Amino acid sequence: MKKRNLSVLNVSLFLILTVYCISLIWPLIWAIFTSVKEQYDFLYNPLGLPSTYIFENFGTVLEKFEVNAIVDGIQERHGLFQMLVDTLLYAGGAAFVATLVPCITAYATAKFPQKKMSGLIYAIVIATMIIPIVGSYPAEITMLQNLGIYDTLLGVWIQKANFLGVYFLVFHAAFRGLAKEYSEAAEIDGANEFTIMSKIMLPLVRNTFFTVFLIKFVEFWNDYQVPLLYLPSRPTLSFGLYFVSNYTGNTISTVPLRMAGCIIILLPILALFIAFKEKLMGNITMGGVKG
């Protein structure tokens, strides 16, 4: 067997990556142990192991985790289950449209690269990634209010239905890498463009689509800013954590209870990744083209 030479660069990279991994794992371990502490134990032993494991913290959070929401001008209390439903609707719907729209747009530009519009769309995507867009929130809120879709899931989904961003480039590269013989064979059989796209090309990039969907789902699951600004009557779990971490006038204002809330919200995402870890970054597998 050939011995691998350990260069200074390889050792340095290994040490850097090890420290980086520890910096990511340590806060999670600290949060887990903190979530089962008493408040007194946390105050006098913030970094050590719990003197007594208080698993009742999770039950307290499940029962007492609630936030205020303004519905038709009336303040209401939303509990954990209601926030979970709103989170699934917001994250699931927004992730789907935020994945589908750049996918279809990328297919069109990759399918017809000779068209001027394809080059223009590609240039717009690159330009918006370079040029920062700041201060658009007031204009977006005003526009949604004028359209009558402010504080609605439909309005938020429409906001996310754009093709801008790095995932357009991901889908564009995926479609450009597909063999043209698949679509050409379908055209010879009389299939139209919609049939070719929906029944042939999109299934070929389903692993990429699913991976981007999961990434966007996690992004929207952890997002509290959009629900705070655009969905004041439908608070999500992330907004609930933001609320209890910034306001002390609630029943789970202690650090151990807040950490217990974070762990509870983390569990669905963790289960999602464990369930789909093999498909998350799966490669596209295609057979040969028959002659």
pTM for this one? 0.81
pLDDT at 250: 61
Q: Residue 166 is encoded by which pair of tokens?
A: 């790095």
**What is the Cα–Cα distance from 286 to 219, expressed in whole angstroms?**
30
pLDDT at 93: 93
Instruction: Look up residue 200 and give its DSSP letter.
Output: I
**What is the Cα–Cα distance from 121 to 101, expressed in whole angstroms?**
13
Orientation angle between helical segments 153-160 and 137-147, nearest 10 degrees: 130
pLDDT at 285: 40
Please state the rounded mean pLDDT for residues 157-179. Answer: 87
Do the Cβ atoms of 130 and 166 come closer than 8 Å?
A: no
Residue 178 CA from chain centroid, whole number: 27
Determine phi and psi for 33, rounding to 5 degrees. -70, -35
Q: Is the dihedral of CA 29, 30, 34, 35 positive or negative?
A: negative
pLDDT at 291: 37
pLDDT at 94: 93
Is 118's pLDDT higher than 50? yes
Do the Cβ atoms of 256 and 38 come closer than 8 Å?
A: yes
pLDDT at 234: 87
Q: Please write the tens of the pLDDT for every residue from 86-112.
A: 999 999 999 999 999 999 998 888 888
**Helix, strand, or coil here: 5?**
coil
Do the Cβ atoms of 23 and 39 come closer than 8 Å?
A: no
pLDDT at 4: 56
Look at 11-15, 78-82, 178-182, 263-267 and tell me which has the smallest mean pLDDT: 178-182
Higher pLDDT: 260 or 66? It is 260
Do the Cβ atoms of 237 and 78 come closer than 8 Å?
A: no
Q: Please write the tens of the pLDDT for every residue from 6-56.
A: 678 888 888 999 999 888 889 889 989 988 888 888 888 888 888 888 888
pLDDT at 284: 39
- 160 CB contacts (<8 Å, ≥6 apart)? 94, 95, 97, 98, 220
Highest-confidence range of 2-6, 203-207, 209-213, 244-248, by mean pLDDT? Answer: 209-213
The percentage of the chain sitting over the pLDDT mark of 90, rounded to a whole number, equals 12
Residue type, 15: L
Residue 96, number of CB atoms within 10 A of its CB? 17
**What is the Cα–Cα distance from 138 to 144, expressed in whole angstroms?**
10
Domains and CATH numbers, the chain: 65-253 (1.10.3720.10)
pLDDT at 5: 59
Q: How confident is the model at residue 287 (pLDDT cuts 50, 70, 90)?
A: very low
Tell me what the pLDDT averaged over the chain comes to: 82
**What is the Cα–Cα distance from 31 to 259, expressed in whole angstroms?**
6
pLDDT at 249: 61
**Helix, strand, or coil here: 78?**
strand
